[in-house]
Amino acid sequence: MATLRYDAKNKATGKAYNAQAAHLWAFNNGKVIAFQQYVDTKKLADAEQK
């Protein structure tokens, strides 16, 4: 698991957002077999609204 923060700006709307996220990785024999992202999708959706 990795925790991170997106601090970015939507190019189309010019709106900035700062959202905390977590990435959950699953490995088998050293290769990625699954990936899941958890993020506050409301913050991302709000940044897409004009």
Q: For 1-50, what is each residue's pLDDT tens digit?
A: 999 999 999 999 999 999 999 999 999 999 999 999 999 999 999 999 98
pLDDT at position 11 is 94
- What is the reported pLDDT for 29? 98
Give the pLDDT score at 10.
94
Is residue 43 left, alpha or beta, with left meaning phi > 0 and alpha meaning psi from -120 to 50?
A: alpha
Regarding pTM above 0.75, the answer is: no
pLDDT for the residue 50: 84
Burial of 24 (0-12, 13-18, 19+ CB in 10 A): exposed
